[in-house]
Structure 1
């Protein structure tokens, strides 16, 4: 599977709100280019946008499978 780095971004809009965007990059064994995701919704604070960006980044990483017993 490998390990991933989640890189959130919270650019501001012209009206003073913030967008949530995230890049997910595999540390080892990947092709080196990150997967990027930009959300359409805007947020009133940078912190709210960052929380959503990080959460969406986690959703983009594969979950480890449970060991069979």
Structure 2
């Protein structure tokens, strides 16, 4: 597994990638906000598989940025 993080405003985007049995890479994304007991963490798993770990990370971060750009974040 590999982890990459990026701060975007008050949010921390963290990607997690793993190699699948078929040799491709799966991506997940954590979007964290707040601190201490007020921390909120939302985790997304993505369906597409990728030929490289870097491609999986780029996809997850791009999806996170698009999600944060929504006018009103879904609950």
Task: Give the TM interval when normalised to the shorter protein.
Answer: 0.7 to 0.9
**Match for 1:55 among 49, 58, 62?**
62
Structure 1 runs not aligned, ≥5 long: 65-69
Partners of 1:19 and 1:41 within 8 A in 2: yes
- Ranges of 4+ aligned residues in structure 1 off by more than 4 Å: none
Write 1 or 2 for the structure with the bigger share of strand. 2
Equivalent of residue 37 in structure 1, options 30, 39, 44: 44
Higher CA-based Rg: 1
Higher relative contact order (CA 8 A, sep 6+): 1
Q: Deviations over 1:18-66 (max 9, x none)?
A: 01110000135x84131111001100000000000111111232568xx
Aligned residues: 63
TM-score (norm 1): 0.75
Unpaired segments of 5 or more residues in structure 2? Answer: 1-8
> Aligned Cα RMSD in Å?
2.5
